[in-house]
C-alpha cells in the first residue's frame, strides 16, 4: 500500500535540473498530498539552503535531503502503542465523525489478540444509531468480548464500569470506542475530558493511550482537529485510516511538525487485519518510490 | 492558523486600500494571500492556480487599477469568481419528479455521512409534504442496515431492506415496487461507503443505478476532505454520472474548499449542506455564503437570515436605540444573550460574523459554558446594578462573585467586556444602521 504513495513526489526527481521549476513542482507535489502549504514552503526553504551550502548539482542528492527532512519531521524512531504497564491499561480511541474509530477498535482488538493480549472492547458511543451493534459485530469477528450499555448512557460511567470489570475479570487492555465528535463542539469535548478523568480516577493514572483517529483523506482541517483534541486530552498518538485509497494523508506531517504528536498506526482497508504499525522510514521511502 | 490567514488577507487589502492606486505588483501581493488562503481551505492546487490566474486577468484587465476603489474591486472580483465557480446561485436546488416516485441515490466514500444524510433528506421530504421511503443497501459495513432502521424510526419514515444477503441492486428494485404499491412518492437509497479505486464496489453502485434509474444521484462529501476530493469526485462521476453533491459536517470549522474542486471537475451543483448530527440540521446550498466561508469573510447572509427569524423588528430597533443612547444595561445584555441562544449553536453563529474571529483584543471565546457563567453573574446583580453597571464598586463585585459562584476576576472580566462592547458598537455603528442581531456581545 505504500507503493505509489506520494508517487508524484517520486516523479519530480527524475532527470531534472535544480531550478525554480523543480521547487515549484516539489511544492505542488507536497500540497497535493495535503501537507500544508506552510510546511511545504518551510521544507523547500531548508532544502534550498542545503543545496546552496553544499553546492549540489544533483537532483538525486536533493531527493535524499528531502527524504531526510521529512523523516526528521515524522520522528526517526517509530512510536509504538503502550502495551506494558500495570494491567488493565486503557486506550481511548477518539476523533471526528466517520473517520474509522469503530473499525479501528475492531482491528486493534484483533491485533492485540494476535500478540497474546486479552483485550476488552467498550462501546462508549451510546449516541449514534447502531454504534453499539457495529462494535459488537467487530468484537465477534475478533473473538473479543464487548461491553455495552443502554443507548444514551453516560459514556464516562460506561468506561468506569468497563475498567472495573476488566480488572476483576483479568483483561489486560481496555479499548474504548467513543462517539464521533466535531472538535468544535465544546460540550462534546467536555464529555471526552470527563471520560479521561473518570478513567484516571479508576486506574490511579491517566489513560495509557489517547488515540486520535484521522481520516487519511482529511485536508488542512486535520490540524485543527489535532489541536482541539490536544486541548481536551493529552493525545498520545494518531492513527491514520483509509490509506488504501488515493489520498496521501500528508496532513500528519504538518501535525507532527507543529505538535510532536507521533503517528502510531495506519489503517489500510476494511478487513480486520488491515492495520499496520506506522513506520516513518517506510512512509517516506514510499513517498519517493517510483510508481510503476 | 486560518484566523491568521484571514487577518493577513484583510490586512493586505486594507494596505492596498490606503494607497489608493494599485500597481500590478500590488495585485500580485494580494493574489499571493488569496492563493494561500484557498490552499489552506483545501481547494485543489490546480483549481487554485487557474482561479488565481483568472482573477489576475480580470483585476488587471478591467482598468480596475485606475478605478475608484481598487482594493474593494479586487475583493469583489475574487468573491464573484468564487461564487461563479460554486455555481452562481442561479440553479434551482431540488425538484421532485412529476412522475413519482422521485428516486434519490446517495453515494460516496466511507464515513462521509450518507446514512445520516439519507435520514435528513427523508425528514426534509416530509416537510415538503412527501411520503418518503428509506432504502438500506449497505450490506458491507457491520450494523449499517440497523443504523438506517434506527434513523428511519427517529425520523418516522419507513425503511426498506432485505438483509445482508441480497444484492443492493435487487434490494433497490424491490424497494421500487414496494414504494409504488404503498404510494410512497420519494425513494431515498442509502449505499455503502466505498473507495473510488475499488472497481468491484464501483460496479455495485453502477448496478443499483441501472436497476432503478434514479432522478438524482448525489455524491455525499465530507467538508473536511483535502486534495483527494478531485480524484474521488471524478471517479464517482464517471461511474454513475452524478447529478449533484451534498456537503456534510459544515457545522465544524473546516473551510470546505474541497467543494470548489468538486464543483470544478464534475460541473455538478451542490444541492444541500449538512450542519449537524440532528436530522433537521440540513439546508440548501448557497454559493455566495460558501464563497465567504472559504475566504474567511464570514457568512453574513446566513446570519442575518437567522437573526431575522429569531428577533423581531421592534426588539432590534429598541435594542439599537438603547445602545445608541447609552442606556444599554445588563438586563438588555441578558435579553440579547437569550436571543443569541435562539439563533442556534454559538460556534456556528460566531463563524458567520465577518472579521470577528481574527480581530485582536476581542478574542471572544464563545462557549456555551462561558455563556452560562455570564448569565449566572448577571442574575446575581440587583435590578439597579443591571441598569447602571457604573455603580458596581469593589464590594458589590465581591458580593456578585460569591452569589454566582464565580471569581471576582470573572466578574471584572465581564464588566470589561461589556464596556468594550458598548464602545465598539458605537464606533462600529458610525450612524449607519446595524444589521439586526449584529450588536450582540458574545459572552
Ligand atoms: N477503505 C477503508 N475504509 C475504512 C478504513 N477504516 C474505516 N473504514 C470505513 O469507514 C467507514 C466509517 O468507519 P467507522 O469505523 O464506522 O467510523 P467511526 O469513526 O466509528 O464513525 P462514527 O462512530 O460514526 O463517528 C466504514 O465504512 C468503514 O468500513 C480503512 O482503513 N480503509
Ligand atoms: Mg463509531
CA A270 to chain B, closest CA, distance in angstroms equals: 8
Tell me, yes or no, if B347 comes closer than 8 A to chain A by beta carbon: yes
In a domain, A23, yes or no: yes
- Give residue B93's pLDDT: 67
Q: Are B372 and B380 in contact (CB under 8 A)?
A: no
Residue A106 Cβ inside 6 Å of ligand 1? The answer reads: no
Contact B226 A247 (CB under 8 A): yes
Residue with the larger pLDDT of the pair B241 and B85: B241
- The verdict on A48 and A138 lying in the same domain is no
Q: Where are the beta strands (DSSP E) in B230-321?
A: 244-248, 270-274, 282-284
| pLDDT more than 90, % of chain B | 46
Mean pLDDT of B262-271: 92
- HSE-CB at B305 with a 13 A cutoff on CA atoms is 8
With 0.95 as the threshold, say if the pTM is over it: no
Q: Read off the pLDDT band of B326 (50, 70, 90).
A: low
Tell me, yes or no, if B404 comes closer than 8 A to chain A by beta carbon: no
Cis ω before A88 (30° cut-off from 0): yes
Residue A103 Cβ inside 6 Å of ligand 1? The answer reads: yes
- Give residue B69's pLDDT: 56
Question: pLDDT (tens digit, 9 = 90+) per residue, A75-88?
Answer: 988 899 999 999 99
- The verdict on B256 and B236 lying in the same domain is yes
The residue whose CA is least distant from atom 26 of ligand 1 is B110
Q: Which of residues 214-273 of B touch A (CB under 8 A)?
A: 222-229, 231-232, 249, 251-255, 257-258
Q: Read off the pLDDT band of A90 (50, 70, 90).
A: very high
- Give residue B339's pLDDT: 67
Question: pLDDT (tens digit, 9 = 90+) per residue, A214-273?
Answer: 999 999 999 999 999 999 999 999 999 999 988 888 999 999 999 999 999 999 999 999
- The verdict on A266 and A182 lying in the same domain is yes
In terms of average pLDDT, the best of A54-58, B13-17, B62-66, B347-351 is A54-58
pLDDT above 70: residue B212:
yes
pLDDT above 60: residue B300:
no
Test the A interface: residue of B33, B42, B111 with most A CBs within 10 Å: B111
In a domain, A52, yes or no: yes
In a domain, A62, yes or no: yes
- The verdict on B208 and B334 lying in the same domain is no
- The verdict on A69 and A98 lying in the same domain is no
Domain hosting B31: range is 3-86
Contact B149 A224 (CB under 8 A): no
- Give residue B47's pLDDT: 93
In a domain, A84, yes or no: no
Residues with CB under 5 A from ligand 2 (ion): A 101-102
CB atoms within 10 A of CB A138: 25
| pLDDT more than 70, % of chain A | 92
- Within 8 A of A190 by CB-CB distance, chain B residues are 369
**How many structural domains compose chain A?**
2
The residue whose CA is least distant from atom 22 of ligand 1 is A98
CATH of the domain at B336: 1.10.260.30
From the alpha carbon of A95, which atom of ligand 1 is closest?
19
CA dihedral angle for residue B261, residue B263, residue B267, residue B272, rounded to 10 degrees: 160
- Cα distance between residue A283 and residue A268, in whole Å: 13
- Give residue B436's pLDDT: 39
Tell me, yes or no, if B197 comes closer than 8 A to chain A by beta carbon: yes
- Secondary structure class of A25 (helix, strand, coil): helix
Question: pLDDT (tens digit, 9 = 90+) per residue, A155-201?
Answer: 999 999 999 999 999 999 999 999 999 999 999 999 999 999 999 99
Q: Where are the beta strands (DSSP E) in B62-123?
A: 102-107
Orientation angle between helical segments B199-212 and B168-181, nearest 10 degrees: 20
- The verdict on A183 and A97 lying in the same domain is yes
Q: Which of residues 197-256 of A touch B (CB under 8 A)?
A: 215, 217-225, 242, 244-248, 250-251
Domain hosting A254: range is 89-291
- The verdict on B291 and B331 lying in the same domain is no
The residue whose CA is least distant from atom 14 of ligand 1 is A100
CATH of the domain at A232: 3.40.50.300
Tell me, yes or no, if B430 comes closer than 8 A to chain A by beta carbon: no
Q: Which of A14-23, A118-127, B404-413 has the lowest mean pLDDT?
A: A14-23
Amino acid at each position: 500500500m505504500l507503493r505509489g504513495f506520494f508517487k508524484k513526489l517520486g516523479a519530480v526527481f527524475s532527470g531534472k535540473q535544480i531550478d525554480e521549476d523543480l521547487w515549484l513542482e516539489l511544492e505542488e507535489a507536497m500540497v497535493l498530498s495535503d501537507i500544508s502549504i506552510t510546511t511545504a514552503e518551510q521544507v523547500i526553504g531548508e532544502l534550498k539552503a542545503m543545496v546552496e551550502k553544499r553546492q549540489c548539482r544533483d537532483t538525486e542528492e536533493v531527493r535524499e535531503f528531502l527524504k531526510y527532512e521529512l523523516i526528521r519531521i515524522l520522528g526517526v524512531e517509530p512510536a509504538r502503542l503502550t502495551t506494558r504497564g500495570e494491567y488493565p491499561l486503557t486506550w481511548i480511541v477518539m476523533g471526528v465523525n466517520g473517520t474509522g474509530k469503530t473499525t479501528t477498535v475492531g482491528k486493534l482488538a484483533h491485533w492485540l489478540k494476535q500478540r497474546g493480549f486479552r483485550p476488552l472492547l467498550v462501546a462508549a458511543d451510546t449516541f449514534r444509531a447502531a454504534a453499539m451493534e457495529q462494535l459488537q459485530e467487530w468484537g465477534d469477528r475478533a473473538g473479543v468480548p464487548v461491553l455495552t450499555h443502554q443507548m444514551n448512557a453516560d459514556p464516562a460511567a460506561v468506561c468506569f464500569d468497563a475498567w472495573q470489570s476488566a480488572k476483576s475479570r483479568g483483561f489486560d487492555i481496555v479499548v474504548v470506542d467513543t462517539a464521533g465528535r466535531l472538535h468544535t463542539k465544546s460540550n462534546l469535548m467536555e464529555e471526552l475530558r470527563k471520560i479521561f478523568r473518570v478513567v484516571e480516577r479508576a486506574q490511579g493514572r491517566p489513560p495509557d493511550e489517547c488515540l486520535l483517529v484521522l481520516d487519511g483523506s482529511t485536508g488542512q482541517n486535520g490540524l485543527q482537529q489535532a489541536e482541539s483534541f490536544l486541548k481536551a486530552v493529552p493525545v498520545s498518538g494518531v492513527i491514520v485510516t483509509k490509506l488504501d485509497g488515493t489520498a496521501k494523508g500528508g496532513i500528519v506531517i504538518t501535525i507532527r511538525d507543529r505538535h510532536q504528536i507521533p503517528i502510531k498506526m495506519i489503517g489500510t482497508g476494511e478487513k480486520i487485519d488491515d492495520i499496520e504499525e506506522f513506520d516513518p522510514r517506510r512512509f517516506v521511502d514510499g513517498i519517493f518510490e517510483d510508481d510503476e | 492558523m486560518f484566523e491568521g490567514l484571514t487577518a493577513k488577507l484583510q490586512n493586505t487589502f486594507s494596505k492596498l486600500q490606503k494607497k489608493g492606486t494599485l500597481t500590478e505588483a500590488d495585485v500580485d501581493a494580494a493574489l499571493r494571500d488569496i492563493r494561500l488562503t484557498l490552499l489552506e481551505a483545501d481547494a485543489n492546487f490546480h483549481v487554485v492556480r487557474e482561479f488565481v490566474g483568472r482573477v489576475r486577468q480580470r483585476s488587471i484587465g478591467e482598468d480596475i487599477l485606475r478605478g475608484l476603489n481598487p482594493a474593494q474591486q479586487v475583493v469583489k472580483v475574487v468573491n464573484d469568481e468564487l461564487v461563479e465557480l460554486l455555481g452562481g446561485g442561479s440553479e434551482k436546488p431540488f425538484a421532485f419528479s412529476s412522475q413519482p416516485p422521485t428516486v434519490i441515490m446517495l453515494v460516496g466514500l466511507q464515513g462521509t455521512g450518507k446514512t445520516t444524510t439519507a435520514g435528513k433528506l427523508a425528514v426534509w421530504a416530509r416537510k415538503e409534504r412527501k411520503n418518503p421511503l428509506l432504502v438500506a443497501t449497505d450490506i458491507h459495513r457491520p450494523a449499517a442496515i440497523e443504523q438506517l432502521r434506527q434513523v428511519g424510526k427517529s425520523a418516522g419514515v419507513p425503511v426498506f431492506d432485505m438483509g445482508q444477503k441480497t444484492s443492493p441492486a435487487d434490494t433497490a428494485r424491490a424497494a421500487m415496487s414496494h414504494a409504488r404499491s404503498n404510494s410512497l412518492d420519494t425513494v431515498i437509497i442509502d449505499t455503502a461507503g466505498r473507495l473510488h479505486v475499488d472497481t468491484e464496489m464501483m460496479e455495485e453502485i453502477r448496478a443499483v443505478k441501472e436497476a432503478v434509474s434514479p432522478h438524482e444521484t448525489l455524491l455525499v462529501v465530507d467538508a473536511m476532505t483535502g486534495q483527494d476530493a478531485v480524484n474521488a469526485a471524478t471517479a464517482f462521476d464517471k461511474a454513475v454520472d452524478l447529478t449533484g453533491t451534498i456537503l456534510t459536517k459544515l457545522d465544524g470549522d473546516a473551510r470546505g474548499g474541497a467543494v470548489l474542486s468538486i464543483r470544478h471537475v464534475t460541473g455538478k451543483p451542490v444541492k444541500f449542506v449538512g450542519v449537524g448530527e440532528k436530522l433537521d440540521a440540513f439546508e440548501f446550498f448557497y454559493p455566495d455564503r460558501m464563497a465567504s466561508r472559504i475566504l474567511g469573510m464570514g457568512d453574513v447572509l446566513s446570519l442575518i437570515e437567522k437573526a431575522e427569524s429569531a428577533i423581531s423588528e421592534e426588539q432590534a430597533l429598541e435594542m439599537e436605540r438603547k445602545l445608541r443612547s447609552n442606556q444599554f444595561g445588563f438586563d438588555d445584555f441578558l435579553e440579547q444573550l437569550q436571543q443569541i441562544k435562539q439563533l442556534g449553536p454559538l460556534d456556528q453563529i460566531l463563524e458567520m460574523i465577518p472579521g470577528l474571529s481574527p480581530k485582536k483584543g476581542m478574542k471572544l471565546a464563545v462557549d456555551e459554558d462561558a455563556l452560562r457563567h455570564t448569565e449566572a453573574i448577571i442574575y446575581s446583580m440587583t435590578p439597579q446594578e443591571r441598569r447602571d453597571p457604573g455603580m458596581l464598586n469593589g464590594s458589590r463585585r465581591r458580593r456578585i462573585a460569591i452569589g454566582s459562584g464565580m471569581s471576582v476576576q470573572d466578574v471584572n472580566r465581564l464588566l470589561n467586556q461589556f464596556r468594550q462592547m458598548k464602545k465598539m458598537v458605537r464606533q462600529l455603528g458610525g450612524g449607519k444602521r446595524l444589521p439586526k442581531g449584529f450588536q450582540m456581545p458574545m459572552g
